[in-house]
Chain A
Amino acid sequence: GQQLNQSPQSMFIQEGEDVSMNCTSSSIFNTWLWYKQDPGEGPVLLIALYKAGELTSNGRLTAQFGITRKDSFLNISASIPSDVGIYFCAGFLSGSARQLTFGSGTQLTVLP
């Protein structure tokens, strides 16, 4: 079962605003991944993080692997309408490299 707590569950923001979402767990992860799912499509990988403390950017997206290895956050700067979708965090538990554990997702709506 799921062991990742992702928040918030949903967000409504104005175009141009920054967005932040995070995932926490009581378990240690050795990899964190962030996916985006457009309406009616499958999730697509945005950012992968492999080391505690790692901070990685992909355009307007920035994600960090928490120092404790139990959390991660994703920031989106200057949101645009095409940022709409569901964002999932996912991770490999320490000692596992095959089965991803997924968060429940953050539904992002960007208002013009």
Chain B
Amino acid sequence: DVKVTQSSRYLVKRTGEKVFLECVQDMDHENMFWYRQDPGLGLRLIYFSYDVKMKEKGDIPEGYSVSREKKERFSLILESASTNQTSMYLCATQQGGGGYTFGSGTRLTVV
């Protein structure tokens, strides 16, 4: 089974801090995605990547950036954390046209 590991389950950061959320997968999947999940808003796509060093904006990229230097690792960066970025962040991977495999999520609180 594919394993998608998100580095932290819970994070508390201060407003203005630079925050790194890490996602690592162990099955050589090409495609990786970052979503945020908020009550009543469902899953919203932030950024995605189909290859190393490749990145594309999703539906809500403002305030975020990403990095994919190695195939197995896709990092989400909050350049200057704000309270409205308090959310559950989910990483997902995909190979070919198959369904997504999700990590367990990182619940980020910005105070």
Contact = CB atoms under 8 A, between A and B. Distances in A.
| Chain A interface, DSSP helix/strand/loop, else mixed | loop
B30 to A, nearest CB: 9
Nearest to B9: A40
Interface string B49-62: 01000000001000
A97 B30 CA distance: 13
B90 A43 contact: yes
Contacts of A92: 97
B34 interface: no
A104 B41 CA distance: 7
By size class, the interface of chain B is: 20 to 34
Given A42-B103, A42-B105, A102 B97 contact: no
A85 interface: no
B104 A42 contact: yes
Contact of A98 (B43, B94, B101, B104): B94
Interface of B: 4, 9, 31, 40-43, 45, 48, 50, 59, 90, 92, 94, 96-97, 99-105, 107
A103 B104 contact: no
Nearest to B42: A104
B67 to A, nearest CB: 20
Nearest to B59: A1
B72 to A, nearest CB: 17
A103 B59 CA distance: 15
Interface in A53-91: 88, 90
A42 B90 contact: yes
